[in-house]
Amino acid sequence: MTVLGPTAPRQLPYVAPLPLSAVRFDPASLLGSWQELNAAATIPHCLDNIRRTGVLANFSRLIEDDLPGKFVGFWFADSDLYKTLEAIGWEMGRSGTDQWGGVLAEVADLLEQVQEPDGYLNSYVQGSPDQERFARLEHSHELYCAGHLLQAAVALHRGGGDARILAIARRVADLVVELPHIDGHPEVETALVELYRETGEDSYLRAAEFQVESRGQRTLTGGFGPQYFQDHLPVREATEATGHSVRQLYLAAGVTDLHLENGDASLLKAMEQLWDSAFGSKMYLTGGHGSRHRDEAYGDPYELPPDRAYAETCASIAALQWCWRMLLATGQARYAEEMERALFNGIAASMATSGTAFFYSNPLQLRTGHDGSSEDAPSERLPWYDCACCPPNLARLLASLHGYAATADASGLQLHLLSAGTFTADSLTAVVETGYPWDGDVLVTVSGQGELAIRVPSWATGAGLTVTGAKVLVEPVPGEYLRVSCDDGATVRLTLPMEPRLVRADERVDAVRGCVAIVRGPLVYCVEQADLPDGVLVEQLRLDASVPVTSEQGDAFVRLRFGAIVRPLETELYKAYEPDSQSGDPITVTAIPYHAWANRGPGAMRVWLPTSR
Amino acid sequence: MTVLGPTAPRQLPYVAPLPLSAVRFDPASLLGSWQELNAAATIPHCLDNIRRTGVLANFSRLIEDDLPGKFVGFWFADSDLYKTLEAIGWEMGRSGTDQWGGVLAEVADLLEQVQEPDGYLNSYVQGSPDQERFARLEHSHELYCAGHLLQAAVALHRGGGDARILAIARRVADLVVELPHIDGHPEVETALVELYRETGEDSYLRAAEFQVESRGQRTLTGGFGPQYFQDHLPVREATEATGHSVRQLYLAAGVTDLHLENGDASLLKAMEQLWDSAFGSKMYLTGGHGSRHRDEAYGDPYELPPDRAYAETCASIAALQWCWRMLLATGQARYAEEMERALFNGIAASMATSGTAFFYSNPLQLRTGHDGSSEDAPSERLPWYDCACCPPNLARLLASLHGYAATADASGLQLHLLSAGTFTADSLTAVVETGYPWDGDVLVTVSGQGELAIRVPSWATGAGLTVTGAKVLVEPVPGEYLRVSCDDGATVRLTLPMEPRLVRADERVDAVRGCVAIVRGPLVYCVEQADLPDGVLVEQLRLDASVPVTSEQGDAFVRLRFGAIVRPLETELYKAYEPDSQSGDPITVTAIPYHAWANRGPGAMRVWLPTSR
């Protein structure tokens, strides 16, 4: 059975997604293990917390007279339920599980009863006598919530064939298409496009177009200004990434989705400029977006503080979703590379190894003495959040992750995210064996015939290649696609260089001046206080770039070892400048993957390390 | 006539303030010119804007049936009026002006009519049917507003003899002393102590004690947590500067004021520890406090980003007020030095040369491409703010500034803020002639006799001294007081070294790693885009520390010239690290005092400059 994934263009894009059912990650691979953990731990945890925190009760109290109390949580809490439903939909499509049939029936019953005759459905507005529908769209998130319902309905329909929630969502959408307003939080754009793809109903696409084309009239006002709401400029002119980062990135994904269906080249051009702004001057090394806690927003260009990185989990997920659509529209490797960066670093770091605790913000530095008492900057992952947008967002991404790994076009198959697994296009199937991202050896065995393209990361200078039964069309070049014309039974062995590398930032990123980060393959590394000897603080380390960094296979991941010196702590906040030799005692220090940090109790951490020169 | 200044301890402190009437700054001195500008421009501008923005109408609508509309502005807007009244009080005491008699009568009439029979007075609560008095003190600012009324009343009584507003304030205070609650925004503590000093009424001091001793019970809750409200720990245990910086600093000033009256050594000890935290690890080079825009709060230790410095004007003013009280309690030079740092840099920078435009936040860096559309981070000073706490706070400080310059004790006179002017203690008068802070030559002529102490800044290594008719008791040592026993007619000539200096921050201040700031005397300097040749961005400069920095007297201030190289702009956000020679084209660059920045249109600015090594 064919199960379509989270983007299923009706117009032929540059490269086309594979159905979810045409890809399977090896469960022992890193990406595969995350999907297993998501199914076993994260989705159930989300369901438990949605029930515990009253998200379901917000609906049921509207139809049961005996339920006490008021609406609880944030006014957009409905979306937490919908994102979890979406995760269930993709997971049903992935594994065929039917374990959540009871929950789905319960929710469908509830939504059917709460939904008003004209299709309106929003437990906050319906349950708040002082709220009028669609009256305060700059803040109300009504279309945001509706969008997540639409996406859940599509996922459930594709993954499990559920028709009831799709019908509910269509009634909501039929109301949205009549609406002459936009929402303060973009999200419904992509959802409407996807619902159009699933149903063929043109009015949904036209509504998405209305939502996109109506941006920039400055009709949305409030505390943080029009940028915050993505209403400062029309989308073709809004080519600097700004405002609330999740809103910016969801909108960009929606605009790109619209382009994928209507082919409007001016939309793609604007998105390319916006992408250059976001990924060229406002993105963290970990693929995080959003420098500011105040309004969860992008900062000025090169304003990228590691300690106060907001880098919301949802923003990295949204960035991945946008990049995916840019990849479909253009076939360019840079979009896939940024998906991989976000996935293995910013997104992966947001989840504990247990699968049941999460970061909302994802800093690249935690200081000795950090006050982690506030939910916006905790010292460790938390089981749940008052604003719980991130955990179910992660669940829906992970359940559908294999849908983002590969594409097909008329000539064959393209592999964008390297992972052990099986990838099937029309004319050929690729079985990938690799320990990537821990190991750079990638062996692909092809059945059927056609062209196989494998993305070569931009850092993979000197990648090796051996093929049998295949003809090399394009040699492996960093940042391009290796292209091989394969006969049945061909093998392709690509060997990526996995030596640890030191990277630095553009000199305008003041916050990490004089620092380097250690990366290996696609993984950013960090130093945790837990790996330092007593009496040495993370803040005292200066990396000695003249000492080679070495790798060491551990149980769960590859550890790195690097040379550093230990600087004495100073006692004056400001003092006379003297050229300084940065001397100190030599030490060898362990670094671990950034995504694995904060799994050993609270403690200081750094990605960016000052050098000793 | 003796006019007491803004702190008039009833208990004898370590050193005692001079009456305002015993000090006069030379109007041509920098501090004197600010006072003249304040009187001529800033106070009238505050009065205009208070009227324009409806602050007075918030009161008058409560007694006039024909006035339309609702309460306007922030719920604590009453305090903007009160701070302006306080400024008028001090200015009347300073200059003897009676130009604001009409306004004072108008306001007194208004307040008398609005004040309820039991003394309650708050135009927001009284004018909002859904507000109950003292019911939401974590947010309502009722005691904050009351405190500013008390302080205004004291200033008007001391400066102009106004008895009506003092009587209104006492009725408010008599209600406050009965209150078993604390306020989310400390401010009333110092005000109650001062009202006690002015009236001798013990219950006001006891109420201040209650306010101080009741902190830390975590009864104040809300979005930003107990630290924000200064309710996380009892004051003797809350020894790390944290939470909303103005609240932290006002509370600290109040605790210190209480110590000045009740002599509780445990309070002073806690304040000394808190001071070390705030000034030793959380203060900007400019004397700014508060690293975070999100909650206007202190960050973790050494979290001091120059670009996103909040460094609220009110926080620097509060820091000065706290340091002044610590100085009175201990006589230690470090407190006076930090007053001077804040005054000449963070505080001075908040006001335009016109006296009628202001910064609320005071960053140490503005990037090329900065989005200044938000009031919390504008590119230029604004004439007024929706939250207008800072401009009238500045006005009240400047009007009373000469009250913070000198003290007396049994042996004689202590000069803490160097300025041309006249300073009179019981037994001696010092006439100071100097161009300080532009010039390091300080000539003091003494009439009468006694001990004269002059603070020698900690940066003044190699200060010169010549005396006639006086005996040197303590030579000039940086960071200490020069002490001279003077006969009538004695002269003391202190020569402070005014060579420009390069300073750097503790290595833990990651945000300015590899950077230096240029300072001269007490003034921090900065580079503005306006002083660079076309095609060179502020971000491209690397200061060459091997080239001597030179000074150049300009019309309004001393300019500095330093050597730098110009780095090419980079095109990749992240790239492979290679040890780098930081080469570039040499250039000579002008720096101006930080406090004078942003008076030539919007443009990039930096205090901290990367070095070329």
> Is A48 at the interface with chain B, CB within 8 A?
no
In tens, the pLDDT along A191-246 reads: 999 999 999 999 999 999 999 999 999 999 887 999 999 999 999 999 999 999 99
Q: Count Cβ atoms below 10 Å from residue A52 Cβ, excluding itself.
A: 11
Confidence of residue A67 (pLDDT cuts 50, 70, 90): low
pLDDT over 70 (residue B147) = yes
A280 touches chain B (CB under 8 A): yes
**B300 shares contact with chain A (CB less than 8 Å):** yes
CB contact (8 A) between residue B508 and residue A300:
no
The whole-angstrom separation of Cα A251 and Cα A319 is: 10
> Per the CB < 8 Å rule, is A510 touching B575?
no
* pLDDT at residue A119 in the model: 98
Q: Rounded to 5 degrees, what are φ and ψ at B166?
A: -60, -40
Q: B159 CB contacts (<8 Å, ≥6 apart)?
A: B3, B20, B88, B89, B90, B91, B92, B93, B94
> Residues A20, A21, A23, CA angle at the centre, nearest 5°?
70
Cβ contact A190:A259 at 8 Å: no
Q: Identify the pLDDT of residue B66.
A: 57
Is the per-residue pLDDT at B376 higher than 70? yes
Give the residue-averaged pLDDT of B70-86.
96
Distance between B502 CA and the closest CA of chain A, angstroms: 5
- Strand-pair partners of B302: none
CB–CB of B505/B420 below 8 Å? Answer: no
- Residue (of B125, B37, B613, B116) closest to B351 by Cα position: B37
Which residue would you say has higher pLDDT here, A161 or A286? Answer: A286
Q: Do B504 and A575 touch (CB under 8 A)?
A: yes
Cα dihedral A47, A50, A52, A53 in deg (nearest 10): 170
CA distance A290 to A311: 5
| Separation CA B238–CA A229 (nearest Å) | 39
Decide if A574 and B504 are in contact by the 8 Å CB cutoff: yes
The enclosing H or E element of A566 equals strand A558-566
Q: If contacts are CB pairs under 8 Å, which of residues 501-530 in chain A contact chain B?
A: 501-516
| β-pairing verdict for A450-455 and A412-415 | parallel
pLDDT of residue B221: 85
CA A143 to centroid of chain Cα atoms: 21
Task: Look at residue B495 and tell me whether its pLDDT is greater than 80.
Answer: yes
Quickly list DSSP for A484-531. EEEEEEEEEEEE-----EEEEE-TT-GGGTTEEEEEETTEEEEEEGGG
* B-proximal residues of A, 335-374, CB under 8 Å: 365, 367-371, 373-374
Q: Name residue A356's amino acid.
A: T
Q: What is the predicted pLDDT for the residue at B123?
A: 96
pLDDT value of position B68: 59
Pick B374's closest partner by Cβ from A225, A501, A608.
A225
**Average pLDDT for chain A:** 96
DSSP letter string over B542-574? EE-TTSPPEEEE-SSSEEEEEEEEEPPPPS-SE
Residues of A in contact with B280 (CB under 8 A): 573
Mean pLDDT of A334-340: 98
**pLDDT at residue A500 above 80?**
yes
**Does residue B291 sit in helix, strand or coil?**
coil
Chain A residues whose beta carbon lies within 8 Å of the beta carbon of residue B577: 501-504, 516, 545, 611
ipTM surpasses cut 0.90: yes
Note the pLDDT of residue B65: 66
Rounded CA separation B5/B476 (Å): 29
CA distance B133 to chain A (A): 24
Residue A157's φ and ψ, nearest 5 degrees, are -70, -40
Instruction: Average the pLDDT over B336-362 and give the result.
Output: 98
A280 vs B contacts (CB less than 8 Å): 573
Q: Say if residues A396 and A90 touch (Cβ distance below 8 Å).
A: yes
The angle formed by the CA atoms of residues A208, A213 and A217, to the nearest 5 degrees, is 130
- Asked whether the beta carbons of residue B513 and residue A514 sit closer than 8 angstroms, the reply is yes
Task: Determine the residue of chain A that is closest to B612 in CA distance.
Answer: A579
Each residue of A269-316: pLDDT tens digit?
999 999 999 999 999 999 999 999 999 999 999 999 999 999 999 999
> How many whole angstroms from its chain centre is CA B61?
34
Which residue of B307, B510, B574 is in closest CB contact with A303?
B307
Return the residue of A nearest to B571 by Cα: A506
pTM score: 0.96
Gap from B370 CA to chain A (nearest CA, Å): 5
- How many Cβ atoms are within 10 Å of B466's Cβ, its own excluded? 10
Percent of chain A with pLDDT over 70: 99
For A77, how many CA atoms within 13 A lie in the half-sphere containing its CB?
26
> For residue A88, what are its two tokens?
């269930």
User: B420, B25 in Cβ contact below 8 A?
Assistant: yes
Confirm or reject contact between B610 and chain A (CB < 8 A). yes
Cα Rg of chain A, angstroms: 24
Predicted confidence at residue B67, as pLDDT, reads 58
Q: In this predicted structure, what is the pLDDT of residue A68?
A: 59
pLDDT of residue A580: 72
Inform me whether the pLDDT recorded for B69 exceeds 90.
Answer: no
Q: Give the length of chain B.
A: 613
The pLDDT score that the predictor gives to residue B580 is 72
Instruction: State yes or no: pLDDT of A66 exceeds 70.
Output: no
User: Is residue A79 pLDDT above 60, yes or no?
Assistant: yes
Predicted local distance difference test score (pLDDT) of residue B582: 76
Query: Would you tell me the crossing angle of helices B164-176 and B101-114 to the nearest 10 degrees?
Result: 40
